[in-house]
Structure 1
Amino acid sequence: MNPDRTVHMARWSEADGVLLLRSVATAMVRLSEAGDPGAASAVPYPEEAQRALNTTVLTCLLLKARPPESLPELVEWAACRPLDQWPVTLPPDVVPPEARLLYEATRQPTQLCYEWAVDAEDSAAQYSGQHHMSVVAQRCREEKYPEAYRAFRLLLVRRPVLTHRELATLPAAAGSDLGSLGDLLYDVYQPAPAGHLDRERRSYVSCAHCHGLLHPTTGGGLWCEQRRCREAGTVRRGREYRADENGGVQLLIRPLRQWVSAPGLMEKRLADQLAKVGAEVELWPGFGAYGMRVRFPDGTTLAVDCKDWTSPALLGRRAAPPPPDPPYDRCLWVIPAGRLRDHPGFREVFERYRPSASPELMTDRELLRTARRLVAAGRPYEDIDPAVPGEAPEGLF
């Protein structure tokens, strides 16, 4: 193992700030599931929230800093105080500048908040949605029905919002490949939270870009939880759902929106682009062993997973190659080119915190550039340097 990586891992395990941020992030996620973190005034508090408050107070007292006096004040810290201004000791570069655990306009957990929550081993499966997808994969594997698995993943990507009637009728609809997975939809689609409801119009509004539900802000606007939608400019209104439409509005649960639907949308778009270039692409092979299996004319086969993380350190800590089946020659983690624009040191921080040399990290633009050159020249993958300037396709996000 690289000595620098050993040092960073030691610092990680020794840093009290790591334990504190995990605890507070988990508490904010738990409060959001129970209702609204911004309304954390009812007692008794959830166990995770009380533990996070106690940990924060103790840390502040040890560092002779003023602690939050209540859980509502801790929520205010999470929404209004950037993490690099908290009185905590952290390994270097683990918190992006001005990053927070809650969005100030909505008091909902940020993507970074979920990243810290899944960094804790005891909550990783719960807050990443791994359990739900494992159940889907196991059933499809037993039934030898990969088409059903892909249909389920595509549904989560394309339809994060369904009415209750759609939820009940989709599996039996003509042309549906969902097979026996219909009952599992009720585990991953839940009644839309009241925080997304326009109380005057008694309706929900979807995002025209990602099709998730928009969230009313404290300033009277609409906000989308997906970074790529907010960066596209003014949030665009999509379909409007009456609160009681066709039995009520159902929303894909947040862990699956973040860890399955959002990267799945990126993988689907990237797969379409690679296919146009001339590569053979299979989405979610081996019942979701990894995101895409990409085969080029020279025979090189890549295992590709799309990742869109706020913290390169937290992403680097999770770096590990995917299962060897279906087989591949090299594995890549692909991030949106926009992440490097926002954080020029993203790649360097990722490299410092990763425990192994695999997978390789590449942007969507770099992969598309490499694919175009490889197919056009018929050269081996190893001879292509994705960083060399040339035809530069636009990044997907």
Structure 2
Amino acid sequence: MALDTSPEQPAPVRQIANAISGWIDKLGAVWVEGQIAQLSKRPGLQTVFLTLRDSVADISVPVTCSRTLVDSMNPPLVEGASVLIHAKPSYYANRGTLSLQAREIRMVGLGELLAQIERRRQLLAAEGLFDLSRKRPLPFLPRTIGLVTAPRSAAERDVLDLAERRWPAVTFTVAHATMQGHRSAGEVMAALARLDDDPEVDVIVIARGGGSVEDLLPFSDEGLLRAVAAARTPVVSAIGHEPDQPLLDLVADVRAATPTDAAKLVVPDVVAETQGVESARERLRSVLASWLHREQTALTALRSRPALADPRTLVDERSAEVDALVERARRTITHTLDRAADDIGHHRARARALSPLATLERGYAVLQAADGSVVTSIEDAEAGAAVTVRVADGRVHADVTSTTRLIPQEDPDAR
């Protein structure tokens, strides 16, 4: 209902704003398709602010939705995604802005394809098909290389030409398959199975040139991914260009940025390998020469030692040491014997000095009675008694004729 206003009775801003808000609130929810031009998640707020832009005209409208709705989306909502939003128009009277309150958000077109691929990636990752522990190393020089690609394609030409330039003796077994469209996944799986059953094939390369997401969609097929994971032969994924990354890149043993890069990965460069061999030979030669020089120097130093120059030197030195020890022992024993002889002479002289015979040799004599007792006083020898005089060289038999008493000398100490 229109407001009854006039120049004399104008309506205030708040009344007009509230009236507009009431009119817009009467509108029902609508489905809107567009592209996310701006996405803003402010910290601490439970509301996410979006800008939905028309894909043809230069027209956009602000959108608000709960953080829970945005966070629950799989894959995550990003700027540039095409979406289908179920929203209700809302007018914010305080600022006079119109926005859409989103209740549901769905991916459409390319966004829906990406959402499907993301859900498939999460499922296979949960099963462990992308684990690094499942990756197998590539052989250094494969006997035969299996190549799955489209017939007469640029990818086939790039792989074969570069591989032959890098290693002229390389051998390929090519299995052609459709690399685009709804039949592509099945034909690639069949070609992969044929090459995997060939015992001469040591590595398999799946190669295709670049393209849109829709063109590369077969290489995210779940059946193909499981077939690659179950293959006994190492698989190299060479799909598209560097920015392209189908799920085959994650499940394959090795990812190549381009088909040309795949040829570099599976075939060594004969020139680089030859240079590497020559460099290794030169290093070995240098190390061996250095080792021989070091050992020769050590051997020369050993041979220059006196013991090796004249082996008798050690014997002569030891012989001289033995002679010196014998001489020192002889001098020590002689000195010891001389000291012992001197000691014996001293003891002999002392014994002789104390012997009564030595006293007799100095002119003294021992007077003994007939019974052999020593006469020490004149009272023991009476006149006419037979006595024996013991001198140094014998005995003298005599008779006592008389005795004379000597006057004892005065003891000087008695005065």
TM-score, normalised to structure 1, is 0.22
Larger Rg: 2
Structure with the higher strand share, 1 or 2 = 2
Structure with the higher helix share, 1 or 2 = 1
Q: Which structure would you say has the larger RCO, counting Cα contacts within 8 Å and 6 or more residues apart? A: 1
TM-score, normalised to structure 2, is 0.21
